[in-house]
Amino acid sequence: MARSIEELERNHPCFGGCRFNAGRIHLPVSPGCNIACRFCDRSMNDVEQRPGVTSTIITPDEAHTFIDRAIELVPSIKVAGIAGPGDTLASDCALETFRKISKTHPELLKCMSTNGLLLYERADELIEAGIDTLTVTVNAVDPKIEAMINDYIIYHGRKIEGVEGARILIDNQLKGIKKVADANITVKINTVLIPGINDSHIKEIARTVKELGAMIYNIIPLIPQHKLKDIKRPTCEQIERAREDAEQYIKVFRHCAHCRADAVGVPGISEYSRLVYQNRLNVRDTFSHG
């Protein structure tokens, strides 16, 4: 269902609602991933869904009880988001959860975040599941740059490395963004800002995604880890310059709290994940799709 901009601005912390202290619960239902970002600590996000990994994830059937517990603690929760810890479209868990939430908690906005590899081919399912807001992480629109950020994709059972994999990823992201935006779902783009790799490329990303129908843009400073651990974290000046570059083309979101995949509360203000999930999760403090 298309929600009005006014409703999103009031109730969604990442689309303007931060002024109103709107809250969200992240439901960590998506275990596996299908790409290999070089900054992602993959110990929790392996392409293979190994035994043991699922024990740290909640199931679609459990989601509503965690939502109830969260709303009791934080009545201002207006959004149910799924942002990992893997990719939301690499399994059916996220879409199944959203279908269930539509029945148990129809009042909540449904917010999903993806790397976009399967966005184009799964867009119809996502639209039918009633997603209100979608975030796609687009770190480059040039395959040569993307190949410096992502080692490979697993696509229809094949591992495809380097520029070839990057080209497929970008193509599916961009076609998917257009398809979803055309269906009146509000689209946000996240870009991980990586000095020396994509910091001069922000304008190009912002211009491209705006043309495809994205509404808002969020720049996430790199947390240097894994294969990009030797790159320096972007400075405040670098982040501000990137935001100014993007702002020439698209509205920029400036209040991102770099949430974990199991975050609960008002971003940047309150954090109740331990109480809600009662320490049953062990989602590492690594990249979150947001």
Tell me: does residue 16 bind ligand CLF (CB under 6 A).
Answer: no
The number of residues that bind ligand CLF (CB under 6 A) is 19
Cβ 30 to ligand CLF shortest distance, Å? 11
CA dist., res. 39 & res. 96, Å (int): 29
Residues 92-131 that bind ligand CLF (CB under 6 A): 111, 113
Residue 33 touches which of ligand CLF, ligand SF4, none (CB < 5 to 8 A by kind)? Answer: ligand SF4
Q: For ligand SF4, what does the binding mask look like between residues 95 and 124, x meaning CB under 6 A?
A: --------------------x---------
Residues 215-274 that bind ligand CLF (CB under 6 A): 218, 256-259, 267
Tell me: does residue 290 bind ligand CLF (CB under 6 A).
Answer: yes
Residues 33-72 that bind ligand SF4 (CB under 6 A): 33, 35-37, 40, 45
CA dist., res. 267 & res. 18, Å (int): 8
The smaller minimum CB distance to ligand SF4, of residues 78 and 122, is found at: 122
Residues 135-194 that bind ligand CLF (CB under 6 A): 135, 188
Per CB under 6 A, which region of 13-21, 29-37, 125-133, 247-255 contacts ligand SF4? Answer: 29-37
Residue 201 touches which of ligand CLF, ligand SF4, none (CB < 5 to 8 A by kind)? Answer: none
Cβ 229 to ligand SF4 shortest distance, Å? 14
CA dist., res. 140 & res. 11, Å (int): 30
Binding site for ligand SF4 (CB under 6 A): 33, 35-37, 40, 45, 84, 86-87, 115, 287, 289
Binding site for ligand CLF (CB under 6 A): 13-14, 24, 26, 79, 81, 83, 111, 113, 135, 188, 218, 256-259, 267, 288, 290
